[in-house]
């Protein structure tokens, strides 16, 4: 950890909350067999989950959690 980086509590992490919410949505989509146009919704949700995580980590994360 760099000296100029201030650590934050885990519950202040946007990335953590995004992943918690997306995991719940992913599980619900799989459990209920949600579909859009006859295609499973779980596939585009998985891509959105991964892309959102990368975006948050690269452009919005600047401090570690404690």
Q: Tell me: the pLDDT tens digits for 6-55?
A: 888 989 999 999 999 999 999 998 899 888 888 899 889 999 999 999 99
The pLDDT score that the predictor gives to residue 43 is 87
The vertex-60 CA angle with 21 and 52, nearest 5°, equals 40
Q: Is the pTM of this model over 0.85?
A: no
The pLDDT score that the predictor gives to residue 4 is 61
Residue 65 has pLDDT above 90, yes or no: no
């Amino acid at each position: 950890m760099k000296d100029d980086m201030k650590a934050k509590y885990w519950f202040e992490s946007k990335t953590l909350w995004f992943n918690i919410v997306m995991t719940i949505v992913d599980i619900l989509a799989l459990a209920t067999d949600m579909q859009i146009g006859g295609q499973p919704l779980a596939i585009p949700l998985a891509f959105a989950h991964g892309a959102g995580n990368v975006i948050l980590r690269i452009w919005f994360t600047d401090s570690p959690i404690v």
